[in-house]
Amino acid sequence: MDSEMPESGLDVAALLARVDGLRQRAQRVRDINDIKRLQRAYGYYVDEALWDEVTALFTDDATVEFARDGLYRGKERIREYLYRLGGNMNGLSEGQLNEHFQLMPVVTLAEDGMSAKGRWRAVILNGELGEYGLWGEGPYENEYVKEDGVWKISKVRWYQTIMVPYEGAWGMNEDVNQGIYVSPEFPPDEPQTDDYGSWPETFLPPFHFDNPVGRYQPDNGNAGEDE
């Protein structure tokens, strides 16, 4: 009987370790799902030009950089930047379209579960009835942090691949704005962080994640989990 006690003790220890591992795994899945929900909410609020709702998703020291407009830092600067993008209006005007589809998520959670990175792709339909229509597209490389149990966006970096007229689309048109929106009238806190131009110039924003099957492993020091 005594000889069975150590084995029984080991079985219990192994079971507890397995339960703890499953608990940690479940928490990581919840965190990744929360981050996806956060980013999708961002997209829906942008669709409707609800700039205060968008701003509420950020940390106090967050940064935003769209296309080639430069970097804006902190909630108040981000809020003003977003309002200027929206023509100093909160909400859409009659006949305005501003759809931003948030697609192809790759979310990488840090080992400590307190921060993450995410790559997404935005497909944009923008325009105003009787005035103009635009196609837009480009990837995000974003960052997130967990504050008091709540995930928030700490960095938005959107790379504009194209922003071209609907008529003829990218096959017949160059970018309508060269990726510059309001920065000439509302200077950024820091200049553009990546040296790239506008369509038809092409640029591959670096991936924050490793190739999941190992064919290509960029030396970016990433440690985490892709979902």
pLDDT at residue 124 greater than cutoff 90 = yes
pLDDT at residue 227 greater than cutoff 60 = no
Q: Which residue has the higher pLDDT, 48 or 26?
A: 48
pLDDT at residue 136 greater than cutoff 70 = yes
Provide the residue count of the chain: 227
Cβ distance 143 to 154 under 8 Å?
Answer: yes
Cβ distance 145 to 113 under 8 Å?
Answer: no
pLDDT at 216: 53
Q: Is 157 helix (H, G, I), strand (E, B) or coil?
A: strand
pTM score of the predicted model: 0.86
pLDDT at residue 79 greater than cutoff 50 = yes
What confidence category does residue 20 fall into, taking pLDDT thresholds of 50, 70 and 90? confident
pLDDT at residue 175 greater than cutoff 70 = yes
Cβ distance 20 to 27 under 8 Å?
Answer: no
Give 99's contacts (C-beta < 8 A, 6+ positions apart).
Answer: 47, 124, 125, 126
- Distance from the first to the final alpha carbon of the chain: 47
What domains sit in the chain, N to C, each tagged with a CATH number? 4-217 (3.10.450.50)
Question: Mean pLDDT over all residues of the chain?
Answer: 91
